[in-house]
Amino acid sequence: MGESGEKLKQDTKRFVKSIFSRYYSKIARKFIEEPTRIASREFGFNLFDKGIVRHLSFRTKDELIEYLRRNNPSDCYYSSALYINPTASMDAKGWMGAELIFDIDADHIPTNCKVEHDRWLCLSCGCEGVGEAPDKCPNCGGDKLEQRVWFCEGCLIAAKREAMKLLDILSSDFGIREDTVNIYFSGHRGFHIHVSGEVEGLDQNARREIADYLLCVGLDPTIYLDRMIISKGVNGAKLRMIRALYDFISSTSIEGFSAIGLGRRGVEAIVNSRDRILEKVLEGEFDGIAREIGVANLRKLIAKVVEYLAVRIDPVVTLDTHRLIRLPGSLHGKTGFIKARVGSSMESLEDYDPLSEAMPFRNSDEQVKLYVHLSPRFRVGEEYFGPFKDEYVYLPLQPALLLLCKGVAYISS
């Protein structure tokens, strides 16, 4: 980058640090949530100048806020686990239990918008491309590729849809009460769901079973070709399958059925007898459906439904009984947005707009001059900005902070 480029990077880092300092000194107190039983939690931070520090503990929210004010971290974390000695080494902490955490991120969800805003860069030759990075650079064959991901309304809608599927299953299949659930926007590309209460005593094996159930690991579609009768006692994967199959058949177009490989006989049978087939779905008459549309077509339908049924959580987060998770109310170092509380219910999530409600500087009229290397069109609040490419721009503080945190822009003096 050269000497002048290095100065741009340092100036940008100092500016972002100053804005984060402004947040933690003047704004954070009303957003930072004190974790329950705070004295039993481990805390960790990524500091702008010192890197990662962890194995810290605080007795009160006031102590935590004072640490944030003095140290101004780029990212803040606390343990989902409760410990006897949270400042000790891992083998000496004394594990007492842990919240059940689910992380839903657009990274794990196929969306069409990724080819519009995600990019990759070969660190060996400088070759760039759009969408997901290939295994090797098509230009030089190198494997040192850097993925540069963005997030948009499409990403967040997809993540919200998965989070709502999760909340439904937690309630209907696991009987988890709403008052033990907390939903948060992660500050970047998705949502965190924290569950407390009785689940805190679950070991890693039990959490793996929950994750496998949500991801439909080992779910064999062929077992659902037998007759199944809906009754009050029917629940779990069987009921999920029937409900999802009903929704898919009732809402899919002719083109949609063809796209998943249904033959002509199956498509015509569904189009001509959709109501009758839906009745058979509700009654669990899979043998009758097979006679109407053909066994091979039914298998393809069910395989597609199993794909839909899977909730795209990050299983590593759910299994980890010692996980450090981002602190609610803190800023995300890659966006400058808040990890913000959404609520506890599906209704609160349905109406939530992260791009408007997780803005720490929504009321600022400050304008920032930037040099933007490359940015897609994006929304912050009610306004759209960009696309930008190799140009100087004046932007309000919040969208400017996003571009700076993303590493696609520099402060211009």
User: Is 103 in the active site?
Assistant: yes
For the beta sheet containing 128-130, the strands, ordered from the edge strand earlier in sequence to the opposite edge, are 128-130, 119-122, 145-148
Among 281, 210, 286, which residue's Cα sits nearest to residue 247?
281
CB neighbour list of residue 370: distance below 8 Å, 6 or more residues apart: 392, 393, 394, 395, 400, 403, 404, 409, 410, 411, 412
Which of 11, 173, 212, 314 does the annotation list as catalytic? 314
Is 179 considered catalytic here?
A: no
Strands 367-375 and 409-411: antiparallel
Q: Would you tell me how many other CB atoms lie within 10 Å of the CB of residue 321?
A: 20
How many angstroms separate the CA atoms of 328 and 302, rounded? Answer: 39
Nearest to 193 by CA among 171, 217, 216: 171
One-letter amino acid identity for 113? C
CA distances 336 to 50, 74, 107, 271, 281, Å, are 19, 9, 19, 49, 47
Residues catalogued as catalytic:
103, 105, 314
